[in-house]
Structure 1
Amino acid sequence: MEKIKFSREETKALVGEIQDYFREELDQDIGAIPAEMLMQFFAERMGAYFYNRGVYDAQALIRKQVESLSDDIFALEQPTRHLR
């Protein structure tokens, strides 16, 4: 897996989210640099877990769609005099 990279805008938004969390939930201020370091830590160490969860969810969705499509195709079958 490639290293997770965020655009400048995404990084700024994530850093703001971290700062808001620290302020609102922990009643502490955290600077932009420590917040960005924390974001990078999570991206490097835990990003793969979140990424994999997304992959698993996508696989489940595709599997469900294929089953539904298979059912729809089977419903097109025309009756014949011979049983399968």
Structure 2
Amino acid sequence: MKPKFELTKEKKAGIVKSIKRYFSEERDEEIGDLAAMLMLEFFMEEIGPVFYNLGVEDSHAYVDEKLDDLFGIMK
């Protein structure tokens, strides 16, 4: 099951603004709100889970390391 990412309306608006700014500054292209929103939805569905899973893996490694530290103080 893929994780479902939920963003507030404000966060979505901020990301859409960032996408539009990227296209304007880096590609010298203007895109509308709809195109930017569709791009955001694509990123959330296709690319978001990759970064989510990396975060889970990093969290697991961190907790494992801390548990090893905890077991290291056993007498």
| Structure-1-length-normalised TM-score | 0.78
What is the Cα deviation at residue 25 of structure 1?
1.2
Structure 1 residue ranges without an equivalent (≥5): 78-84
- 1:30 maps to which residue? 31
Structure 2: segments with no counterpart, 5+ residues: none
Partner of residue 3, structure 1: 4
Cα deviations by residue, 1:51-73 (Å, 9 ceiling, x for unpaired): 101101111111111111111x2
Q: TM-score, length-normalised on structure 2? A: 0.87
- Partner residue in 1 for 2:71: 70
Q: Which has the higher contact order (CA 8 A, sep 6+)?
A: 2
Structure with higher Rg: it is 1
How many residues are matched? 74
For residues 23-58 of structure 1, what are the alpha-carbon distances to aligned partners after superposition, in whole Å with 9 as ceiling and x for unaligned? 121111111110010000111112211110110111
Q: CA RMSD in A?
A: 1.3
Please identify, of 42-51 and 31-40, the stretch whose mean Cα deviation from structure 2 is larger: 42-51
CA distance in 2, matches of 1:61, 1:29: 42
